[in-house]
Amino acid sequence: MNTAKVLPQDMASNEGSGLVKAAISGWLGTALEFMDFQLYSLGAALVFHEIFFYGQSKAMVLILAMGTYGAGYLARIAGAFVFGRMGDAIGRKKVLFITITMMGVCTTLIGVLPTYAQIGIMAPVLLVVLRIIQGLGAGAEISGAGTMLAEFAPAGRRGIISSLVAMGTNCGTLAATGIWALVFYSLDRQQLMEWGWRLPFLSSVVVMIFAIWLRVNLKESPVFVQEKAKSLTTAVTAEGVVENDSFCAMFRSRSFWIATGLRFGQAGNSGLIQTFLTGYLVQTLLFDKSIPTDALMISSVIGFLSIPLLGWLSDQFGRRLPYIVLNVLAILLAFPLLSVVMEPDHGVALIMVCIIVIHNIAVLGLFALENITLAELFGARQRFTRMAISKETGGLVAVGFGPLLAGIFCHLSGSWWPIAVMVMVYSAIGLFAALLMPEVKDRDLNLLSDAAELGSRG
């Protein structure tokens, strides 16, 4: 069966409105997901120690808060299995509606939770429950949005168009950081602890409502429609090989482990820099709360330029080269930049510049490439499933437990250097995966086989 007669880019060119809606939908979904994570991570780092983990030592509070953060990542991998499979079976659109609703409702409900002072241990228990439900939806949200947009986007511009999904990262991070900053500047300590901490979570309902409305009006992916019409249950690849869709086959796939390694590097750096580093600076080194929050907010603004630039560069030079360059830079710069960040004597401005540089290179830069690269690595039949599971398998250890391990290592060593070592290790894993990856730029997304198995360039 020749699956390449009608190319997805040809279909996308005839459905401009579908591409625009897919782009906005993916951007909003990613923004809501990262808004949630940044809302929680900053809350965990700055105020949750008094609201949900009262009475613990500073080191134990940070470990407990990061452990709760990790609970959401345990649920994400289950969500990737369940909703990724559904997305390949019943369509991307239906699953994206479910995931955005689950995420948005849970984020809002965190804002109405009772505190430890009101109901004791049940307060953190309820927080964990919401994080788990939220994680189930988030486990497939960004993969579904990335799959949908990649399958709509025309060849030659997939990188810059898919960077719109990545732009949701800094939009969400910027919105969450800005909301927390506004709350801190506007309220005194008593107001913040009594009711002000709820405002950031309640405010997310606005984004949720708009995103749900947009998902209702979203068109189905042209690749999914075309492949479903050919009865995928008996599909044969263009090379005459019957495609195996079992989970065992997925875990034997070279493409799957390359994608997992790419994700592991980016996600690990994200958990350390956006989550753990903020808490460490404020709670352990006693920095002013505004230093890390303002630095991340400025970095997110700069990301509006750096993310589409990297997307465009990947369209010009391929996906491998930018991945290799960014990971090498992260390895080389992690220790010198973080050594400056950890010394108050260097001055606030220099500290913030160093945070901004490492954040744009090791987090935003890699994420700008991630969605389109992973989408192009996998075949049409199981793209959603394999993309979601590879992303969440990498994220489970790297983001779910990375900050927790960093808290333990820093506590045991009495120093900050484990953070730099972990950034270097994560980046080295991402670099190794990039070196093993075949070039996938503009690969035909209707092909059923994964790229690394056939070395296909489209």
Helix pair 16-46, 158-186: axis angle to 10 deg: 40
Q: What is the mean pLDDT of residues 180-187?
A: 84
Q: What is the pLDDT of residues 168-183, one digit of tens each?
A: 877 887 788 788 888 8
* Better-scored residue on pLDDT, 393 or 68: 393
CB 72 within 8 A of CB 135: yes
Which residue type does 407 have? G
Distance of CA 219 to the CA centre of its chain: 24
Question: What's the rounded Cα separation, in Å, for the pair 353 and 357?
Answer: 6
CATH superfamily of this structure's domain 8-231+246-454:
MFS general substrate transporter like domains (1.20.1250.20)
* Better-scored residue on pLDDT, 337 or 344: 337
Which residue type does 181 have? A
CB 284 within 8 A of CB 408: no
The residues, ordered by sequence, that sit 6+ positions from 373 with a Cβ below 8 Å of its Cβ are: 259, 262, 314, 319, 323, 437, 440
Which residue type does 332 have? L
Q: What is the mean pLDDT of residues 228-237?
A: 52
**Is the per-residue pLDDT at 261 higher than 90?**
yes
Q: What is the mean pLDDT of residues 344-350?
A: 85
Confidence of residue 69 (pLDDT cuts 50, 70, 90): low
Instruction: Report the 10 Å Cβ neighbour count for 239.
Output: 11
Give the pLDDT of residue 323: 97
List C-alpha distances in Å: 233 to 53, 230, 448.
50, 9, 12
* Burial class of residue 256 in the structure, from the number of CB atoms within 10 Å of its CB (0-12 exposed, 13-18 middle, 19+ buried): buried
| Averaged pLDDT score across all residues of the chain | 82
Locate 191 and state its tokens. Answer: 């107001």
CB 105 within 8 A of CB 208: yes
Q: What is the pTM of this model?
A: 0.80
Question: What's the rounded Cα separation, in Å, for the pair 262 and 146?
Answer: 15
* 3-class SS string, the chain: CCCCCCCHHHHHHCCHHHHHHHHHHHHHHHHHHHHHHHHHHHHHHHCHHHHCCCCCCHHHHHHHHHHHHHHHHHHHHHHHHHHHHHHHHHCHHHHHHHHHHHHHHHHHHHCCCCCHHHHCCHHHHHHHHHHHHHHHHHHHHHHHHHHHHHHHCCCCCHHHHHHHHHHHHHHHHHHHHHHHHHHHHHCCHHHHHHCHHHHHHHHCHHHHHHHHHHHHCCCCCHHHHHHHHCCHHHCECCCCCECCCCHHHHHHCHHHHHHHHHHHHHHHHHHHHHHHHHHHHHHHCCCCCHHHHHHHHHHHHHHHHHHHHHHHHHHHHCCHHHHHHHHHHHHHHHHHHHHHHCCHHHCHHHHHHHHHHHHHHHHHHHHHHHHHHHHHHCCHHHHHHHHHHHHHHHHHHHHHHHHHHHHHHHHHHCCCHHHHHHHHHHHHHHHHHHHHCCCCCCCCCCCCCCHHHHCCCC
Instruction: Report the 10 Å Cβ neighbour count for 311.
Output: 25
* Better-scored residue on pLDDT, 434 or 300: 434
Q: What is the pLDDT of residues 265-302, one digit of tens each?
A: 998 998 888 878 887 888 778 777 778 878 888 888 89
**Is the per-residue pLDDT at 67 higher than 70?**
no
Question: What's the rounded Cα separation, in Å, for the pair 77 and 98?
Answer: 16
**Is the per-residue pLDDT at 28 higher than 50?**
yes
**Is the per-residue pLDDT at 239 higher than 80?**
no
Q: Give me the residues paired with residue 236 across strands.
A: 242
